[in-house]
Structure 1
Amino acid sequence: MEQHVEPEHWDELTQIGQNSEISGKNYVRIMRNRFNQTHGVYVWQRKFITELLEDGSVRGYQEYGFNGKEVVIFDKERMVYIPTAHEGQLLAQRWNSRRIFAEVDKSYMEEHCVAWLKKYFSYGKDELERKVRPEVRVSDKQSDEATKLHCRVYGFYPRAVDVKWVRNGRDKVLSYEAKQILPHPDGTYQIRVTVEVAPKEGDSYSCHVDHSSLEEMLIIPWEPRRRSSLYIVIGVIAGVAALALTAVLGIFAYKRISAGFSSPPCSSWRSSSPNRYRYFSLYLN
């Protein structure tokens, strides 16, 4: 932007910002009365969403908000302002009563915003059109009640991606968690999709990933862990070890008894006689 944008463009944006500041102060005063607020910090928000499609058509809308709450939206196609909160009703009525407001906003979105989109896209075309293939990792967390399947997709660009779990190759499994695509510090994106299932004999599960960088959809199967076999092996090893230890102790005790060295009676340990030291030494040897 700094290298390519001409000074006249910066001047135009500066003028728009200054005009917005003036009108914004007026709307803050109006909305304070609507919300019946007399003190604090006030924020008037206006957001433009403009989308230029491949066929050259333009779609989009505008949002108006006060202190983080949306109050009015502008429908560009119908050229009408729609209140989305009780406090925005009078404002929407005022704007709808004067068609010039809708005409200005529609022209702004279809002309100014589209021109800027084309300009900015040409400056960042190499970066915006790059495609990075996603990496996929499948894992699980098993319990007696159910199994949670996790599909982590990361390192992909652009942002748009479709990730879902499928049972037996055809049935989509709904996720109980919201799918959030998160940015990564290296400029790529990541997402994790989790489902909770109760696998039955013969069921198979796989994570399906569709992204513009892929020639065909990625299908990563989930391979269940065989926990029961592992526990059986551990149990057998532990049992063998216990039997071996018992046998060794039995042989040791038998040899001691055969040699005439039986353990002293319990009363001998509590005796004050000097012989208890002899018994103790004999027991250890």
Structure 2
Amino acid sequence: MDCARHEMMVPVLFLVILQASTIYSGHSLQYYHTAVSAPGHGLPQYSSVGYVDGIQIKTYNSDTNRTVPVAQWMERLESDYWEGETENGKRAQAAYKINVMVAMDRYNQTGGFHSFQVMYGCELMDDGSTSGYWQYGYDGKDFLALDTERGVYYPLTDRAQRSAQRWNSPMVQAGERAKYYLQTECIKWLREYIEFGKEELDRRVPPEVKVSSQQSDGVSKLHCQVYGFYPRDVDVIWKRNGIEIPFDETKQVLPNTDGTYQITVTVEVLPDEREKYSCHVDHSSLNETLIVTWDNKEYITRHSYLIFAAVSLVFLFGHVVGMKMKCSGE
């Protein structure tokens, strides 16, 4: 950013307002397993990946038949752990090979390339509460999901009825076992991983926010770009005259190469009413909700809540004679 742009920020800072933040943070452990009917499309016949707070920590696949660390801090775990995880991977590989064949039978398929996937995980919030989920898919579509309260699986398609009945039967009780795992073992291991990766997982990087206007084909839009933040959880909404604007589309948080995240939320507005709109950002790195409005120029604010407070104090004491802002590249 050049010096001219920095100078433009001074009056804009008064458009940054603070309110009590509603975001509270926690940690998550997630697993993704994929099995295919035959090797191909660049995929091994079976693979699994584990994540903590969206950071890949370990992986296993049928090409190597080994579970290996991905996150550097996971290398601190002893060899016994990795040997045990490798054995778990081999058992899961055999089980998912059967799951693919069973799913193909449910759909009356005898050949072709098909995939069977599962994603499950648990969350531990800062207030001590926990939650979990467990869901299966076949050929990219929903198949089964776990009712985590009742400990039973329910079908997401008619083809999954038989599988749900079998997994919920007294002889199998797969749902009860999954529920137990999410509430106990999953949380236990999440705590372990948090301790090993504490330095990285507990860091907080506040977001940069850029608000801009776009006019195209008679439609006026306001973009709220929020980027460079960590951890991933963030809440970004638009309000008009203080009233939240419903947002039907999925708000997609994307990773940056440096391990931080970004998101852009766009709203259509009337050209002469843009000043009525404000972008509200909640993140665990912020003590307050960051509120940014459009003022007919693009701008960026980083730690704006601190700068705003400093500028306000200067005005209160009546000693404003100018401000020089030093340019520096990031």
Equivalent of 1:77 in 133, 149, 161: 149
Q: How does 1:116-195 map to 2 (within 5 A)?
A: 116-142=189-215, 145-168=218-241, 170-175=242-247, 178-195=250-267
Aligned-pair distance for 1:149? Answer: 0.8
Give the root-mean-square deviation of aligned CA atoms: 2.3
Pick the structure with more helix per residue: 1
The farther-off stretch of 178-187 and 200-209 is 200-209
Equivalent of 1:105 in 169, 172, 178: 178
Matched-pair contact (CA < 8 Å) for 2:74–2:196: no
The amino acid that maps onto 1:156 is F
Secondary structure of 2:239's counterpart equals strand
The farther-off stretch of 193-202 and 180-189 is 193-202
Match of 1:20 in 2: 92
The amino acid that maps onto 1:182 is L
Pick the structure with more strand per residue: 2
Match of 2:136 in 1: 64
The farther-off stretch of 187-196 and 105-114 is 105-114
Q: How does 1:194-209 map to 2 (within 5 A)?
A: 194-200=266-272, 204-209=276-281
Change over 3 Å in CA distance of 1:202–1:110 after alignment to 2? closer
Q: Greater CA radius of gyration, 1 or 2? A: 1
Structure 2 Cα separation of the partners of residues 144 and 55 of structure 1: 48
Aligned-pair distance for 1:192? Answer: 0.8
Q: More relative contact order in 1 or in 2 (CA 8 Å, sep 6+)?
A: 2
Structure 2 Cα separation of the partners of residues 53 and 196 of structure 1: 35
The farther-off stretch of 36-45 and 79-88 is 36-45
The amino acid that maps onto 1:155 is G
Matched-pair contact (CA < 8 Å) for 1:183–1:190: yes
Matched-pair contact (CA < 8 Å) for 2:209–2:226: yes
TM-score normalized by structure 1? 0.71
TM-score normalized by structure 2? 0.62
Change over 3 Å in CA distance of 1:177–1:75 after alignment to 2? closer
Structure 2 Cα separation of the partners of residues 192 and 19 of structure 1: 42
Secondary structure of 1:217's counterpart equals strand
Match of 1:221 in 2: 293
Structure 1 Cα separation of the partners of residues 174 and 201 of structure 2: 34
Structure 2 Cα separation of the partners of residues 202 and 88 of structure 1: 49
Equivalent of 2:187 in 90, 100, 114: 114
Cα deviations by residue, 1:101-145 (Å, 9 ceiling, x for unpaired): 233323332333222211111111111111111111111113584
